[in-house]
Amino acid sequence: MTDLAPVRRALLSVSDKTGLVELGQALADRGVELLSTGGSAKALRDAGLVVKDVADVTGFPEMMDGRVKTLHPGVHGGLLALRDNDQHMAAMTAHGIKPIDLLVVNLYPFEETVAKGADYATCIENIDIGGPAMIRAAAKNHAFVNVVVDVEDYQPLLDELAAHDGQTTYAFRQRLALTAYARTGAYDAAVSGWMAGALDEPAPRRRAVAGKLAQTLRYGENPHQSAAFYVDGMNRPGVATATQHQGKELSYNNINDTDAAFELVSEFLPKDGPACAIIKHANPCGVARGTTLKEAYARAFDCDRTSAFCGIVALNSTLDRETAEEICEIFTEVVIAPGAHREAKEVFARKKNLRLLTTPGLANPAESGLMLRQVSGGYLVQDKDNGRLDVSDLKVVTKRAPSDQELADLLFAWRVAKHVKSNAIVYVKDGATVGVGAGQMSRVDSCRIAARKAEDMAATLGLDAPLTRGSVVASDAFFPFADGLLTAAEAGATAVIQPGGSMRDDEVIAAADDAGLAMVVTGMRHFRH
């Protein structure tokens, strides 16, 4: 095997015909013989290029609605034959097989078909067979054969041919092969994942996951960790599909926190009023509604001004100038919103390091999906936590029932608690968080931390008492003992929402009654470890 391998004969068969004619013309100009199939061949011929049908190579016409056209030794022998193996070359001569030096294939749009909500039969029909088979064959034989599966590799291929007088280097062919195997792997993962869902199989024997590189990252959580960001093709509004208008590239931590912020704020529909969530280290510093977006931001900020510094701001409505000016009063890493007015963008333009991301809408918190977490030797897979409750789902277990205002705040607190690391405690008053306790090993400690943060903010704001006085409190899981509940009551909470289900529920309920608290249980837990 030599390092350089010439490209004399190419097979082009693509679903996405972007750049196909230009590529075909450039290859033809170099004297490369073009083979093709179906619509690809027509597009090339319509552009005036000389193209040989694969059917003329195989001796068989395309048949079975195009299902059978390239699965033939005349094609696969041309891709797989080792050019430096005398037996392989003799077999090619004996059977009239000519080498194929370049394969350009992109696959039937299976992922796009699924994303459009197509029915089962249509999805099945959009599973490519011949394409992956050819790609794998060409990639295996990268010692001699080039395989291109992405439109974005057309120009690098042409640059390589120009640099080496119609030849390619072994290193280049290796990189193409790597991309090719990853593409077929991702394609199979998409098919198997879709089938698992279509067949309602939550735990298939084998689970494949895949992604496409969106960007390399300077480092991961820490500078000594390399990292990259991959997207899975889901068209879900959020950090993966947002448009960035200004600022430097997002970091690993930026992406993680922005996702957490936008998923949280998407719990609050714009029809119910503006809402804002401020996130730091994937936990909310403050979440609030307001009569205006500016007010929602200000109320969220007043929950924990210290932690909000260098945080992520997510909004549920189009960013306006007034809110933008308010946000610019402190250093903020990222702002994400479903749109931004021109005047708001102009305000942010003065802060060149502030990233502004916009999305076409909010994420649907009730939408199903999968969550993955790596552990040593494997990974855990679970359904996305898309649990949502309304007032009718709540059960009053205390002598006193909550008031209408308490009920509204309890539901608000419950939706926030879903996005707080366990053990999670969230105090809410009048549609705004006033204390958040996250990620503690003891639930009572989360209660204390949240209350202490409220006390600190009361001092900062010059209030006579912390805003936890007269608030409600949410706990993401049951109170195993009454101590956490009593700590919340000491902080001033008047009503509680929690899942219930502890063996000491009766003790906790009795403690709530003694303290004059109203308590509702959900029957649903929101652990977020």
Judge if 156 and 183 occupy the same domain: yes
- 482 falls within a domain: yes
Residues 179, 239 within the same domain? no
Confidence of residue 2 (pLDDT cuts 50, 70, 90): low
Q: Is 402 helix (H, G, I), strand (E, B) or coil?
A: coil
What pLDDT is attached to residue 130?
85
Q: What is the mean pLDDT of residues 10-16?
A: 91
140 given a catalytic annotation? yes
Q: How does 84-94 read in b/e, with b if 16+ C-beta sit within 10 Å? A: eeeebeeebee
Longest dimension (CA), the chain: 95
What is the pLDDT, as a whole number, of residue 27? 95
Does some domain include residue 207? no
Q: What does the H/E/C string look like for 337-357?
A: ECCECHHHHHHHCCCCCCEEE
- Please give the DSSP secondary-structure letter assigned to residue 319: B
Residue 371 in any domain: the answer is: no
Confidence of residue 67 (pLDDT cuts 50, 70, 90): low
Residue 66 in this model has a pLDDT that exceeds 70: no
Identify which of 283, 203, 225 has the alpha carbon closest to the alpha carbon of residue 529: 283
Shared-domain flag, residues 58 and 141: yes
Last residue of a domain, one of 173, 198, 223: 198
Q: Which of 147, 169, 198 delimits the end of a domain? A: 198
Indicate the range of 44-53, 78-87, 476-485 predicted with least confidence.
Answer: 78-87
Domain shared by 173 and 298, yes or no = no
Question: In whole angstroms, how far apart are CA 60 and each of 103, 133, 137, 147?
Answer: 20, 18, 20, 24
**364 in a domain, yes or no?**
no
Structure confidence at residue 60 (pLDDT): 65
pTM over 0.75: yes
Q: How many Cα atoms are found within 13 Å in the side-chain-facing hemisphere of 194?
A: 26
432 is a domain residue:
yes
CATH number of the domain encompassing residue 55: 3.40.50.1380
Residue pLDDT, tens place only, 82-103: 888 888 888 878 888 888 999 9
User: Do 11 and 145 lie in a common domain?
Assistant: yes
The residue from 52, 88, 98, 140 that is catalytic is 140
Catalytic hit among 281, 341, 345, 351 = 281
- CA 365 – CA 367 distance, rounded (Å): 6
507 alpha carbon, distance to own chain's centre:
43
Taking only the tens place, the pLDDT of each residue in 110-152 is: 888 888 889 999 999 888 888 898 899 999 999 999 999 999 9
Question: Are 70 and 183 contained in the same domain?
Answer: yes
Confidence of residue 305 (pLDDT cuts 50, 70, 90): very high
Does 460 map to a domain? yes
Joined together, the tokens standing for residue 1 give: 């095997």
How confident is residue 416, by pLDDT bands cut at 50, 70 and 90? Answer: very high
Residue 45: what are its φ and ψ, rounded to 5°? -65, -40
pLDDT in tens, 219-274: 999 999 999 999 988 889 999 999 999 999 999 999 999 999 999 999 999 999 99
Residues 43 and 79 in one domain: yes
**pLDDT surpasses 60 at 1:** no
Q: Is 280 part of the annotated catalytic residue set?
A: no
3-class SS of residue 518: strand
- The three-state secondary structure class of 176 is helix
Checking if the pLDDT of 78 tops 90, the result is no
Residue ending a domain, among 198, 233, 249, is 198
Average predicted confidence (pLDDT) for the chain = 91
Q: Which residues span the domain enclosing 290?
A: 212-358
Domain-located, residue 384: no
Residue 429 domain-assigned? Answer: yes
Question: Do 242 and 305 fall into the same domain?
Answer: yes
pLDDT for 76: 75
Residues 279 and 340 in one domain: yes
Over residues 432-447, mean pLDDT: 93
Rounded-to-integer distance, Cα 300 and Cα 290, Å: 9
pLDDT in tens, 307-329: 999 999 999 999 999 999 999 99
Structural domain total, the chain: 3
Say if residue 240 is in the same domain as residue 162: no
Q: What is the CATH number of the domain that holds 226?
A: 3.40.140.20
Q: What mean pLDDT is predicted for residues 500-526?
A: 93
pLDDT of res. 68:
65
3-class state of residue 5 by DSSP: strand
Q: Domain check: are 295 and 324 in the same one?
A: yes
| pLDDT above 90: residue 369 | no
Distances (CA, A) of 369 to 115, 118, 193, 236, 526: 13, 18, 11, 10, 16
Residues 193 and 234 in one domain: no
